[in-house]
Amino acid sequence: MKTKYLISALRTRIFAGIVIALMSSVPASAQQDQRTAGSMPTSNGKSVNDTSETYRQLNLFGDVFERVRAQYVEETPDKQLVETAINGMLMSLDPHSSYLNEEDFEEMQVQTRGEFGGLGIEVTMENGVVKVVSPIDDTPAYRAGVQAGDYITHLDDTPIIGMTLNEAVDKMRGKVGTSIKLTIRRKDVPDAIEVSLVRDVIKISAVKHEVKENDIGYIRITTFNQNTDSGVRKAVTEIKEKAGGKLLGYVIDLRNNPGGLLDQAIAVADDFLDKGEIVSTRGRHEEDTKRDNSTPGDIADGLPLVVIINGGSASASEIVAGALQDHKRAIVLGEQSFGKGSVQTVIPLPGHGAMRLTTARYYTPSGRSIQAKGIEPDIKVEQAKVEKISSAGIHEADLRGALKNPNEDKANEKSQDSKETDGEKKAEDYQLSRAIDLIRGVSLYSTRKQ
């Protein structure tokens, strides 16, 4: 009995020390807000009654922790219990707050940097083995002939079955210059394929671009990592060089972009804005409000912009779309975005990973909060497959024996064939084809207005 009392008292003192340490780090403004009428405040802003209640709740946690350690059917490491408890507390706040242990924190940093040592394949898990979604251009996997749809069954002769996807990915990543052997099963190939690859520096391509139909710049942004803004600037430069003086405008594709770094979203929006606010972040206290404004200069030289979004466009993507829409710099086309209007701050915990905590909401320049609402497109266009429908009407050319147009020649026929081929290609992506049409319409209207 005496021993139990000593343990309980010791635990209470430990928790009290934790509480005091936490309270000492609370900002003065937060301490002021926590004061209540009728209670004597302590030196750190908490009332005596509030502090006592905090101790009591922490004591409850200690009681549960000790019972689980002593009586749970299977022995569970203390570290796992504490990490799970912390994660449960954070995840109960909102869907985006969470605890990152050392491994999760390191993985997040790798994704943010957009550069790591590896093989260069996008993968998923299917039926217990790793399936290749796509090899990344100009990487060891691409050069070795790894194909989309391949199944990786062994890594260095170790079966993948039984591994999680993260474990398999961790094994494929590694120090640049080291080698690994993959055993691959491929459809319609009876025997297993074995390839030895040397890990190289893999850069996650956040931006892809091309010139559509010789005069429309197309920029696809897949994520907002440390390379996104520089990638967008490079894309615009190369598009200008390829299109020459024929460029009519740009399509910025943010579909299925889950977001990423806030500062990169601000930088990308700033690339196309010459003045005005881009986004404001507003935290719990008024003094936490921060506004980010654009700087002079528009890398698109004022040409028309169309931004495509859908239900997979979230967070940083919505900041860019909302800023360009509010300033009437771009027409937003597509479907309503995801609606993640909160900002997460990653707070490192030395020796224990980090915590991802929601610390603010963000607002578009007009003051819109898109939390749980999303960005409404200016022109709603759902993704659909376009099929050619025959017209019920009859034209002169349909009549038997109708005279041919004397101006029609092989060149025109070739041009018409080319247009039909382009139409078939555009039918593969209905939203993109509508965005291209819109750029042409805006450009045509601007020209006539002049």
Q: Which residues are catalytic?
A: 315, 326, 340
Structural contact between residues 212 and 218, judged by C-beta atoms closer than 8 angstroms:
yes
**CB-based contacts of 188, cutoff 8 Å, min separation 6:** none
Q: Structure tokens of 362?
A: 């963000």
The sign of the torsion formed by the CA atoms of 221, 224, 227, 230 equals positive
Residues 6+ apart with CB under 8 A from 358: 93, 94, 96, 97, 342, 343, 344, 345
Q: Which residue matches tokens 């409404």?
A: 376
- Exposure string of 392-429, with b = 16+ CB inside 10 Å and e = fewer, is eeeeeeeeeeeeeeeeeeeeeeeeeeeeeeeeeebeeb
Q: For residue 247, how many other CB atoms are within 10 A of its CB?
A: 21
Three-point CA angle 365, 254, 235, nearest 5°: 100
Antiparallel, parallel or unpaired: β 200-203 and 305-309: unpaired
Query: Please, is 140 exposed, middle or buried when counting C-beta atoms within 10 Å of its C-beta (0-12, 13-18, 19+)?
Result: buried
Is residue 56 within 8 A of residue 41, CB to CB? The reply is no
Q: Which two tokens stand for residue 313?
A: 């466009």
